[in-house]
């Protein structure tokens, strides 16, 4: 079985990768050399920094090149490649490719990359850029499979948790190098410093916007541009375990991807059986 290629290894992508692996599909993940996932403890993209990353009960390992990834990949062990431009696709020649970068725009994925191409979220036109698009906006249509057209545009407003939306997200007040006082899973108080930004001669404190659990934050030493999303505080202080597992949103989206993959695989088997 040829491996499925997934572009992106953030938390939503990781939900899809986990679901595919548990269904028996080998997966090769393509990431940038400097992943910016906030929910690092629930993101396979951490394999780029650490060499490997386990989320729930699946471990993704960083491979030195595409040839090594192809030799090592299996359903129980997805492989990660630093390949932001997806150059390895020409060597892997996948039958299925999923764009899970969630960049809100198309960074180069097109229908010719594989017989089945799927994109998550806005920035793609189903039937033109890719074969299918999956809706990623929370609400009634979350996970909807779009055959023609696009997902809803990005609003820039995160989903509500206990009445908090944009209030729980922290953006960088300036450009600088991030240094952490707290890491993911820590209980923090409102206005307590989460980290500081080292700028040219200054030290800018980054306070918590509310009391809760630090659900996500960029890694220590990350070079943060001004305005970038850098942390997320969950007001449900008792839900620390949620920082380390795939979210309900990611599982919903993953189910839609798996539906398309299974339908594609069944279609291939039926065509072969009929001699077409």
Residue 74 resides in a domain: yes
Predicted local confidence at residue 160, as pLDDT:
58
The position carrying tokens 């393509």 is: 30
**Cα maximum dimension of the chain:** 71
The answer on 179 and 48 residing in a single domain is no
* Structural domain harbouring 204: 166-235
List all residues 6 or more positions away from 223 whose beta carbon is below 8 Å from its beta carbon.
Answer: 175, 176, 177, 178
Check whether 274 has a pLDDT greater than 50.
no
Residues 145 and 196 both lie in one domain:
no
Q: Are 62 and 181 in a shared domain?
A: no
22 and 129 in a single domain? The answer is yes
Task: Identify whether residues 95 and 176 lie together within a single domain.
Answer: no
52 and 148, same domain (yes or no):
yes
DSSP label at residue 35: -
> Are 147 and 259 within one domain?
yes
Does the pLDDT of residue 276 top 50, yes or no?
A: no
Q: What is the pLDDT of residues 239-270, one digit of tens each?
A: 788 999 999 999 999 999 999 999 999 986 54
pLDDT of 177 reads: 97
Same-domain status, 110 and 51: yes
Task: Specify if 161 maps to a domain.
Answer: no
Q: Is the pLDDT of residue 195 over 50?
A: yes
- Return the closest-CA partner of residue 216 out of 256, 171, 259, 258: 171
Say yes or no: 35 and 120 in one domain.
yes
Question: pLDDT tens across 7-49, in order?
Answer: 999 999 999 999 999 999 999 999 999 999 999 999 999 999 9
């Amino acid at each position: 079985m040829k491996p499925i290629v997934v572009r992106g290894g953030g938390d939503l992508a990781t939900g899809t990768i986990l679901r595919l692996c548990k269904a028996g599909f080998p997966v090769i993940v393509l990431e940038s050399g400097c992943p910016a996932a906030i929910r690092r403890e629930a993101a396979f993209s951490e394999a780029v920094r650490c060499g490997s990353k386990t989320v729930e009960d699946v471990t993704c390992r960083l491979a030195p090149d595409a040839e090594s990834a192809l030799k090592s990949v299996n359903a129980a062990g997805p492989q990660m490649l630093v390949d932001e431009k997806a150059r390895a696709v020409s060597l892997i020649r996948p039958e299925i490719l999923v764009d899970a970068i969630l960049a809100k725009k198309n960074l180069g994925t097109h229908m010719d990359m594989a017989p089945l191409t799927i994109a998550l979220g806005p920035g793609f036109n189903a039937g033109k850029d890719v074969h299918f698009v999956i809706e990623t906006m929370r609400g009634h249509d979350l996970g909807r499979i779009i055959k023609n057209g696009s997902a809803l545009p990005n609003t820039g407003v995160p989903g509500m948790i206990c009445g908090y939306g944009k209030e729980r997200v922290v953006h960088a007040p300036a450009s600088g190098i991030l240094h952490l006082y707290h890491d993911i899973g820590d209980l923090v108080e409102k206005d307590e410093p989460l980290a500081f930004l080292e700028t040219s001669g200054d030290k800018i404190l980054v306070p918590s916007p509310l009391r809760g659990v630090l659900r996500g934050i960029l890694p220590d030493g990350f070079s943060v541009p001004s305005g970038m999303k850098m942390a997320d505080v969950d007001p449900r202080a008792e839900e620390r375990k949620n920082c380390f597992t795939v979210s309900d949103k990611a599982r919903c989206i993953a189910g839609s991807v798996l539906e398309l993959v299974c339908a594609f695989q069944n279609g291939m088997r039926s065509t072969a059986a009929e001699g077409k």
